[in-house]
Structure 1
Amino acid sequence: MQRCLKWVKHLPEMGVEPTVITVDPEVAAYPVLDASLEADVPASVRVLRTGTLEPFGAYQKLTNRPIPHGGFANEGRPSFAQRAARFVRGNLFLPDPRRGWNRFVLRQVEELMQAGERFDAVLTSSPPHSTQLIGLELKRRYGLRWLADMRDPWTDIYYNQALHRTALARRIDARYERQVLEGADVVITTSSDTRRLLLGKASGLPTNKFVVLPNGYDEADFRLPSAPPADQLLITYVGTITGQYHVQPFLEEVAACVQRHSEVPLRLRFVGRVGKEVERQIAQTGLQDRTDLLEFVPHDQAVGYLLRSTALLLAIPDVPHNLGILPGKLFEYMAANKPIICIGPTASDAAHILDESHAGVAFGYDDRRDMQEHLEQLVSAWLQNPNLDLPAFSHSRYSRRALTQRLAGLIRG
């Protein structure tokens, strides 16, 4: 969501006038909302809110359970009812349950066109990938230049394996994916590996229409000064983390480091959604008294926690096709100018960016010896100076303004 929000924020200053069509929050169902981010939408930008038809509200009422996060991060081990709901979701709602919104968007665009309005291009961003079917239909109806922004893989997204899809459902979903990739004028991805993955979905796809436009950071969000704590070595993680992120070996190495250096006030802080399995791992390693678990907070508060940290923890889920996973938080971590500890594949796009920018180090999920050595270096450096902020380094090419400038060029063609 922040990706599109920041584009909308910066496009007007670049001579591109966006009209935003989104869902009315009074009728939509989402696991978390952050109303504070509405302040980033310029007053000059027209925002049209539509109705929708989707099953999540009914699911919540029938099961008395919260709406699933992406990848079912808030469900833990699924019950029979949850497995049944996943099967229904994966086989009866294709490509996803948000498709009920599409008819409302198409009706809204039709009203705009009938009123004499004209647009140079349409941009659809997903997931939910059903949104891309809106772009497909708008291009068919009106011949608009169409940019399909795909923040994640489609049929290869890691949580599809939890949907218990039949062969027929998989074929239908793959057909939708091919139609979008073939029909869009520009396909935007967040990473090089995702671009490579999508290019292999159909023969004859022109490589030059697939463009990598990563997530980034908004310089305006980092106006406050860095304030690392002087009384503790504090490692912070912001966002969702579940058992799929395979951080137990790292937690065990942190626990071992605490035993070796009991005099060092080393603490962990997780801000956001922490899965039950990760909570159990924290308890099993004996780190519960050295770990703070904070629920979801508005974005500006999350940035504040980054700035009030010694170092930052990044983790990439241990799932298929994870080399191209580039979490949006990576670039905000970099903007916070703290040393980053990344747990995930060392050949990933995220690891490459960390290496080239000298912003941190990536460790394989089970690289215990390297983790141990790095934690020792971190402790030694902290004992000499509790401020481990990195030397000034420009990450300006990952600023939201610079990335939106590139998007404006794609929109103009």
Structure 2
Amino acid sequence: METLKKLLIISPYFPPVNAADMQRVRMSLPYFAEQGWHAEVVTIAPEYSDLAQDELLLQSVPSTIKTHYVKAFSKSLTSKVGLGSIALRSLSYYQQKVNSILKREKFDLIYFSTTQFPVCILGAYWKKRFGVPYVIDMQDPWHSDYYINKPKSQRPPKYWFAYRLNKYLEPIAIKNVDGLISVSAGYIDQLKSRYPIIKNIPASVITFGAFAPDLKIAQDNRQQFVPLLNDEYINIVYVGRGGKDMHRAISPVFEAFKSALKTNPEKFSKIRFRFIGTSYAPSGQGVATVLPLAQQFGIENYVIEHTDRISYYCTLLTLQQANALFIPGSDDPQYTASKIFPYLLTRKPVLAVFNKKSSAIPIMQDYGVQHIYNYDDVSQEQLSVFFDQLVNHTLDAVDYNADAVKRHSAAEMTQAQCHLFDQILNAGH
């Protein structure tokens, strides 16, 4: 039997911590071995994270996966000097832990899959010290100018500090990297253009995959969750972050709904839009970003926004209980919305509106999604058809293209990752 190659995964967030950037790792773990790779994970112990935890996430992690835990400095101490980031708080602990692992055992590759990018600078250090190549999964841009001309109110907290830190740290990690994975071709092109030294390294665009076992976990544990929908209404549901960058995608939908309501109030007044988990702020402290837009259109009585985040499996259950699903994209063309896959897994009718350059559009067309549009070209007539079909109950459970379902599954996405890993190793020989 062929010996498995060894992969050390650096994922600061990991179950039971409920963070979007650990989902690729979590969904890939069951499939690495069949692609010839033995994976181990180095993560930050959950007690050092201030994100919500969901014990159910652990049910999807194979019991055979070895997990190493590192500490982090207390946020209450480091935030006094402006360093609340878990990546910065854990950096020295990561260095010590992985040093001890690599002294003991030989690994073929180190895989950073996280949006906590500062930890990635350790890849260059471990490569120099232990000779282990590394790959970075760019789930988001690291050093980005996207917010630089935005008003202060639309910038992330501590943007000034983060922008300068990222500008300094990114080249340390990227100039020495052996391979790149990204959810967007734009991220890879940007980095290869910024750092010509990496223009020939293996790189691959791999979206997140659809992980079917999650639906069963959600259903099996449904008694744990308080229902969020009111069955008296026809519920169109979106679960995920809000923000003004999504207003261009949401506006045409609100406008078309307002028009439909005006034409036939009796027919369409049963519809309710529910936007859930739109803020990253602690519970009760979120600021609504969708409801003010609904107020501008005069349809605030038909739009409910819950800013508080909900757990991953509560999300899946809520999507399954909806009458239809709405996925608005960002005005950032590189925003891919990895969250489309849980929506597609439910096989509920979907209305999706994205930037015309978003990779989400061809993926959803590949599946056979009927109502997928870009916000520049979508017409009121097209959106009215969706509302009409919804209230007339002619939007049935969706039967997607079977080849596309397989092509975008977590198993296939893991195979694509491992193909890149093998390329890196072959390039080194």
Contact 2:121/2:173 (<8 A) preserved: yes
Which residue identity does 2:301 align to in structure 1? D
2:381 to 373, 376, 387: 373
Contact 2:274/2:304 (<8 A) preserved: yes
Secondary structure at the residue paired with 2:160?
A: coil
Match for residue 37 of structure 1? 57
1:315 Cα deviation from its structure 2 partner: 1.9
Task: Answer yes or no: is 1:389 the counterpart of 2:389.
Answer: no
Match for residue 87 of structure 2? 98
2:414 to 398, 404, 413: 404
In structure 1, how many angstroms separate the alpha carbons of the residues matched to 2:252 and 2:173? 40
Task: Answer yes or no: is 1:300 the counterpart of 2:313.
Answer: yes
Matches within 5 A, 1:15-30: 15-30=36-51
In structure 1, how many angstroms separate the alpha carbons of the residues matched to 2:320 and 2:184? 26
Task: Answer yes or no: is 1:256 the counterpart of 2:259.
Answer: yes
Secondary structure at the residue paired with 1:277?
A: coil
Q: 1:157 to 1:238 in 2, by over 3 A?
A: farther
Matches within 5 A, 1:59-74: 59=79
Task: Answer yes or no: is 1:146 the counterpart of 2:146.
Answer: no
Task: Answer yes or no: is 1:277 the counterpart of 2:265.
Answer: no
Match for residue 221 of structure 1? 214
Task: Answer yes or no: is 1:117 the counterpart of 2:118.
Answer: no
Which residue identity does 2:131 align to in structure 1? G
Match for residue 160 of structure 2? 165
- Work out the percentage of aligned pairs sharing the same amino acid: 21
Contact 2:236/2:273 (<8 A) preserved: yes
Secondary structure at the residue paired with 2:69?
A: strand
In structure 2, how many angstroms separate the alpha carbons of the residues matched to 1:57 and 1:272? 29
Q: 1:97 to 1:309 in 2, by over 3 A?
A: closer
Give 5+ residue unaligned stretches, structure 2.
1-21, 221-228, 280-286
Q: 1:285 to 1:34 in 2, by over 3 A?
A: farther
Q: 1:360 to 1:215 in 2, by over 3 A?
A: farther
Contact 2:354/2:373 (<8 A) preserved: yes
In structure 1, how many angstroms separate the alpha carbons of the residues matched to 2:45 and 2:201? 36
Which residue identity does 2:208 align to in structure 1? N
Matched length: 371
In structure 2, how many angstroms separate the alpha carbons of the residues matched to 1:112 and 1:198? 30
Q: 1:204 to 1:17 in 2, by over 3 A?
A: closer
Match for residue 72 of structure 1? none
1:290 to 290, 302, 322: 302
Match for residue 236 of structure 1? 237
Match for residue 226 of structure 2? none
Which residue identity does 1:35 align to in structure 2? E
In structure 1, how many angstroms separate the alpha carbons of the residues matched to 2:271 and 2:90? 47
In structure 1, how many angstroms separate the alpha carbons of the residues matched to 2:68 and 2:197? 37
Q: 1:231 to 1:48 in 2, by over 3 A?
A: same
Q: 1:164 to 1:6 in 2, by over 3 A?
A: closer
Contact 2:253/2:383 (<8 A) preserved: no
1:251 Cα deviation from its structure 2 partner: 2.3
Q: 1:233 to 1:273 in 2, by over 3 A?
A: same
CA RMSD of aligned residues (A): 3.0
1:184 Cα deviation from its structure 2 partner: 1.2
